[in-house]
Amino acid sequence: MKKLNFYLFVLSCIFLCSCQQDEMLTTNLQGRNDISVGNIVTLKSGIKVRKNGDKYIFGRDMILSPKQLKALDETGSIAGNITGELERNVSLNPVTNLPKNYDDLVQTRNMGIYPTPYNLWAMVRFVYDSNLTSTQRGYIKQALLELQSKTNLRFYNATGQPTRDPVYGIDYPYINFKSIGKSDVSYSYVGRIGGKQDVSLANFAFDNASLGNYGVIIHEICHAVGMLHEQSRPDRDNYVTINWNNLTDSGKEQFEKQGSNYFYRGDYDYASVMGYGSFTTSISVVNDIFKPMYTKKDGSYLYQGNTVSDLDRMWINYLYLPYVARSDVYSELDTVVYDGNNRQLTEQERLQLQAQLNNGNPNPPAGGRIPNEF
Ligand SMILES: [Zn+2]
């Protein structure tokens, strides 16, 4: 398995960090929602992020939660200095992503933090924002189905449903897919943040999808399930050469490395949907759009994948399980379950795992499934 960026939740509730150095960039030339808008800010750890309004953005398209920003500021890693075993999170209710255990909920409220140690999802709860056209919704649906067919990720469409638990008064974590119109960047948060988190898709993401390439939408969804950029691997300099001379300050910010708490297995994955291509048309990122931002060590070019690669799948399949939406507390697994090496479990293995998740009971109660159409 390659990079297993595992983001453990930090314990602090302290919000925004103190930032040391602000540097204004020139106003963007195109007068649109360009990524040169905002300031490049150097954090205490030396990592550069971009501040746009009240948002801090890492590596071009990842919006940092306050906890992640604080961890990045202090430790150089959005996971902070916490270490722990990698394991699947099986403590959440699949549909709501709230803890199954009432005691955990009580503790959560007392402590004021989200209780699960990891920022993974059970099922990925999402809604379609009302600003999406039906065509755009269709493209997002295709991207979701693509991910479901190749990985253990499962998505739960909660459009029009409550966003807050009526009993406990806690907001459900969920993705809000929305359109942001003309922009040269689409955005996402990294991992499950808690409450509503936007996946903001620019026109070009849908334009690509209209040509059959769902790569941008899949890329942003993969951020939301916890993945980082391939080119931010700490060992990336063994595999790629950054063309620093061609990068603007804003461009350099896209090639910050993750310094610590960064799990991965395997070599650099040139086919990852999470890796940038060598070229960009964004004049705020490079001085010359006809020269690459970076290349492979042999000088050849990289191209961003349009779907999850085998190694992307291994990252996801190692950490996620394919749940079925149910109204009861039984954790039912879908018919196809992959292990961390992308091998499909036998039916016997699947039932064993399902029993393990349900106090030894391999048989879901009848009638508990709830509709889940995209
Ligand atoms: Zn990205």
178, two tokens: 């929305």
Cα of 119 from ligand 1 centre, angstroms: 17
| Residue 125: pLDDT over 70 | yes
Report the distance separating Cα 201 and Cα 33, nearest Å. Answer: 13
The CA distances from residue 88 to 6, 9, 48, 72, 317, in Å, are: 11, 15, 31, 24, 9
Q: Is 136 exposed, middle or buried (0-12, 13-18, 19+ CB in 10 A)?
A: buried
Give Cβ neighbours of residue 138 (< 8 Å, ≥ 6 apart).
none
| Residue 358: pLDDT over 70 | yes
Cα of 45 from ligand 1 centre, angstroms: 21
* Residue 76 pLDDT: 78
Query: What is the pLDDT averaged over residues 26-45?
Result: 56
| Residue 203: pLDDT over 50 | yes
* Residue 163 pLDDT: 92
Cα of 374 from ligand 1 centre, angstroms: 24
Q: Is 27 exposed, middle or buried (0-12, 13-18, 19+ CB in 10 A)?
A: exposed
Q: Nearest-CA neighbor of 135 among 32, 225, 205?
A: 205
Q: Active-site positions?
A: 220
Report the distance separating Cα 65 and Cα 367, nearest Å. Answer: 38
Banded model confidence at residue 367, pLDDT cuts 50, 70, 90: very high
Cα of 190 from ligand 1 centre, angstroms: 9
Q: Is 25 exposed, middle or buried (0-12, 13-18, 19+ CB in 10 A)?
A: middle
Cα of 160 from ligand 1 centre, angstroms: 28
Average pLDDT, the chain: 82
For residue 281, the one-letter residue type is T
Phi, psi dihedrals of residue 241, rounded to the nearest 5°? -115, 120
Report the distance separating Cα 61 and Cα 185, nearest Å. Answer: 6
Cα of 339 from ligand 1 centre, angstroms: 25
| Residue 110: pLDDT over 70 | no
Other CB atoms within 10 Å distance of the CB of residue 189: 22
